[in-house]
């Protein structure tokens, strides 16, 4: 009889104590981020080859041979790859949602409703153009419209600045993470033989890698000694115990670029940084361009009509809007009497002899709705849109009109009921320029009036023409409302698409994470069960030791 029995009991008690400690550590860290479940591996201790076994004749005992770390490395890799894609979607989604809320105008004070009210104010005032109070309405609605356009423009501008700041913050985060990783690497190489310390460091390492994968598409290469090297676009961010910083810079095109310490530009293809960059350099500028295009067309079109009309105070040639884009658009007119609601239509000639008349004409007609009353006399050459048409005394007025029409493609006809010559351009946006090349200009009282006589107070034709702009199809069959609505619905579509793909990717990443965690996460139930298991084993071993002890006692006392 040897002390082998006590040896066995001691080994079992030592092994189960360690195993219980590990269960305790698991329970304590059940909620610790990045903690990986560990398990004691208790295996046979065959002491057959040792000196001891040669004495005892080959007894068997147990000991804790390993602390196993439950980590699914395949799923870790999958998780990080998919997390990079998710990062990009999340970054883009975050700011597109913001854009969407800037343009979330479904209320009665939205830009499109303001635009409708603006057009209607022209209509209302034009029906009684002499009413200054109604004219004031145009100025008020104009100011509201201008401020809501500016609000959107500055909203986008400010958002762009916010994204820029966020990019800087994320780059700082990236640099801080790579720095931490380099330090963890150096500790891993030092603690290579200490199992429990190494496991903790590996947890830290994996957590940092998870976080890194959200920010950018980094490539991870694990070394034999469990240290990892991290590369971005082929250049190292972490190489062993060293880390290298990345910096965000704004280039000459006002776009974000990422530059390494050594000056090399790196391309980030996934992750939050990519999403933010897309929002800042692609989506927001394109929305801004479209908003600017909308504003500048509004300025241009309204001004084009407004400047040809006449105000109550006989002013003309004034622009309604000042500025050129969504940022500097403003209402130029301050005096409501200067609003050019009147067109240049002049009083028609009361008597005109159609037989054998000849015409000449000068001046600029901005729109097909313009008409002139004239008193033709004399002869000469008329130039319409640069096309010169000559006539002789022998032609009738209608023949002359026909020859102008066929030479220029412009519809020219004499309306006998209103005693007016109507020039209509086949394309609505081009203007008609009429001037006399030779001939008796002075005879044309109506046209002479073009430049000297102003419109009359009761005429609201020009205002109505501006009102008609509201549904005029200016771009590819699109009106101002369509244009703006097109922008907003584009934002809506893009936001909801990104939001949906983000949601799908999120679920995918969640699923992978769940598989990962189902292996590496701590289950209290499991731990309690192993606790009981080890406790019972420990108790049994202790009992065994005490029985052996009793045996010795018996032996010693009987022989003593």
Partner 1 sequence: MRLPDSLMYENLLFNINKSKSKINDIQKEIASGQKLLTPDSDPTAYTRLATAKATRSKLSGYQENIELAHGKLSQYDDTLGSVYDLMLQLKTTTVAAGNATSGDNGADVYKAKVENILKGLISLGNTNVDGTYAFSGSLTDTPPFETADNGQYITEVSYKGDNQSKIYNLDASERMEINLSGREVFLGTAGNDESIFQITMDIRDSISENGVSNIDDHLEKLQSAMDRMLLKRGEVGNDVQHLEDLETFMDTMGLNLDTRISGLQDTDLAEAAVKLVSMQTIYNASLAMASKLGQMSILDYLR
Q: From the list 59, 175, 479, 501, which residue makes contact with partner 1 (rule: CB under 8 A)?
A: 479
Should residue 322 be labelled a site residue for partner 1 when binding is judged by CB under 8 A? no
Residues 249 and 256: beta-carbon distance below 8 Å = yes
Q: Which of residues 337-356 bind partner 1 (CB under 8 A)?
A: 345, 347-348, 350
Task: Please count the residues of this chain forming the interface with partner 1, following the rule CB under 8 A.
Answer: 69
Per CB under 8 A, 547 contacts partner 1: no
Q: Per rule CB under 8 A, is residue 140 in the interface with partner 1? A: no
DSSP result, 337-383: GG---B-S--PPPS----TT------EEE-STT-EE-----S-EEEE
Please, which residue, 77 or 492, has the CB nearer to partner 1?
492
Q: Residues 84, 267: contact at Cβ < 8 Å?
A: no
Q: Select the residue interacting with partner 1 from 485, 508, 540, 552 (CB under 8 A).
A: 485
Should residue 468 be labelled a site residue for partner 1 when binding is judged by CB under 8 A?
yes
Q: Which of 315, 322, 456, 501 binds partner 1 (CB under 8 A)?
A: 456
- Give the tokens for residue 392: 């002789």
Nearer of residues 524 and 551 to partner 1, judged by Cβ: 524
DSSP secondary structure of 22-85: HHHHHHHTTT-TT---EEEEEEEEE-TTSHHHHHHTS-EEEEEEEEEE---HHHHHHHHHHHHH
Question: Which residues 6+ apart lie within 8 Å of 242 measured at CB?
Answer: 182
Q: Of 294, 305, 467, 538, which lies in the binding site for partner 1, with binding defined by CB under 8 A?
A: 467
Q: What is the closest distance, in whole angstroms, from the C-beta atom of residue 515 to partner 1 in the complex?
A: 8
Interaction residues for partner 1, span 494-533 (CB under 8 A): 495-496, 499, 510, 514, 517-526, 528-529, 532
- Segment 220-229 long-range contacts (CB within 8 Å, at least 24 positions apart): 220/80, 225/188, 225/189, 225/192, 226/188, 226/192, 226/198, 226/202, 227/185, 227/188, 227/189, 228/181, 228/185
Does the footprint of partner 1 cover residue 116 (CB under 8 A)?
Answer: yes
Measured distance between the N- and C-terminal CA atoms of the chain, rounded to whole angstroms: 17
* Local structure of 239: helix, strand or coil: strand
Dihedral, CA atoms, 291, 292, 294, 295, nearest 10 degrees?
A: 120
Which of 535, 546 has the CB closer to partner 1?
A: 535
Choose which of 67, 457, 469, 540 interacts with partner 1 (CB under 8 A).
457
* Residues in a beta bridge with 67: 40
Cβ proximity to partner 1: between 43 and 489 the closer is 489
The stretch among 55-63, 180-188, 427-435, 466-474 that binds partner 1 (CB under 8 A) is 466-474
Q: Give the residues lining the site for partner 1 (CB under 8 A).
A: 30-31, 37, 96-97, 100-101, 103-104, 106-107, 112-113, 115-117, 119-120, 123-124, 127-128, 130, 345, 347-348, 350, 418, 456-461, 464, 467-468, 470-471, 479, 481-482, 484-486, 488-493, 495-496, 499, 510, 514, 517-526, 528-529, 532
């Amino acid at each position: 009889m040897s002390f082998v029995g006590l040896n066995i009991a001691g080994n079992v008690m030592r092994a189960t104590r360690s195993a219980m400690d590990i269960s305790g550590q698991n329970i304590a860290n059940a909620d610790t981020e990045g903690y990986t479940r560990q398990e004691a591996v208790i295996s046979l201790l065959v002491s057959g080859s040792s000196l001891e076994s040669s004495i005892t004749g080959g007894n068997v005992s147990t000991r804790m041979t390993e602390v196993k770390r439950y980590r699914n490395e395949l799923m870790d890799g999958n998780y990080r790859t998919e997390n990079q894609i998710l990062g990009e979607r999340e970054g883009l989604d975050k700011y597109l949602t913001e854009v969407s809320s800037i343009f979330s105008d479904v209320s009665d004070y939205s830009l499109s409703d303001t635009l409708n009210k603006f057009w209607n104010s022209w209509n209302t005032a034009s029906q009684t153009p002499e009413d200054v109070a109604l004219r004031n309405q145009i100025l008020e609605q104009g100011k509201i419209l201008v401020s809501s356009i500016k609000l959107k423009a500055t909203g986008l501008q400010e958002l762009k600045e916010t994204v820029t700041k966020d990019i800087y913050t994320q780059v700082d985060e990236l640099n801080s993470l790579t720095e931490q990783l380099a330090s963890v690497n150096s500790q891993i190489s030092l603690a290579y033989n200490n199992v429990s310390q190494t496991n903790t460091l590996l947890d830290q390492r994996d957590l940092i890698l998870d976080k890194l994968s959200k920010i950018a598409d980094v490539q991870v290469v694990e070394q034999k000694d469990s240290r990892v090297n991290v590369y971005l676009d082929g250049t190292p961010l972490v190489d062993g115990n060293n880390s290298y910083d990345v910096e965000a810079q704004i280039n000459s095109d006002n776009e974000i670029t990422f530059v390494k310490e050594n000056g090399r530009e790196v391309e980030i293809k996934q992750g939050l940084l990519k999403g933010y960059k897309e929002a800042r350099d692609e989506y927001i500028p394109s929305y801004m361009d479209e908003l600017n295009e909308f504003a500048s067309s509004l300025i241009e079109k309204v001004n084009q009509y407004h400047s040809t009309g006449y105000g109550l105070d006989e002013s003309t040639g004034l622009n309604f809007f000042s500025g050129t884009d969504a940022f500097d658009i403003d209402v130029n007119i301050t005096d409501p009497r200067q609003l050019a609601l009147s067109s240049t239509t002049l009083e028609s000639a009361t008597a005109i002899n159609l037989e054998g008349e000849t015409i000449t004409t000068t001046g600029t007609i901005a729109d097909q709705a313009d008409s002139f009353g004239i008193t033709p006399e004399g002869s000469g050459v008329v130039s319409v849109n640069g096309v010169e048409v000559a006539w002789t005394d022998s032609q009738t007025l209608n023949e002359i009109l026909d020859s102008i029409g066929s030479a220029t493609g412009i519809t020219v006809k004499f309306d006998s009921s209103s005693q007016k010559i109507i020039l209509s351009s086949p394309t609505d946006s081009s203007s008609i320029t009429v001037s006399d090349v030779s001939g008796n200009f002075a005879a044309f009282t109506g046209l002479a009036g073009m430049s000297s006589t102003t419109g009359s107070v009761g005429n609201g034709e020009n205002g109505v023409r501006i009102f008609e702009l509201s549904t005029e199809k200016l771009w590819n069959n699109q009106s101002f409302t369509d244009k703006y609505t097109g922008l907003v619905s584009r934002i809506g579509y893009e936001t909801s698409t990104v939001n949906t793909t983000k949601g799908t990717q999120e679920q995918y990443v969640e699923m992978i994470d769940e598989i990962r965690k189902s292996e590496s996460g701590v289950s209290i139930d499991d731990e309690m069960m192993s606790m009981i298991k080890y406790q019972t084993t420990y108790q049994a071993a202790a009992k065994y030791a005490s029985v052996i002890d009793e045996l010795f006692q018996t032996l010693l006392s009987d022989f003593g």
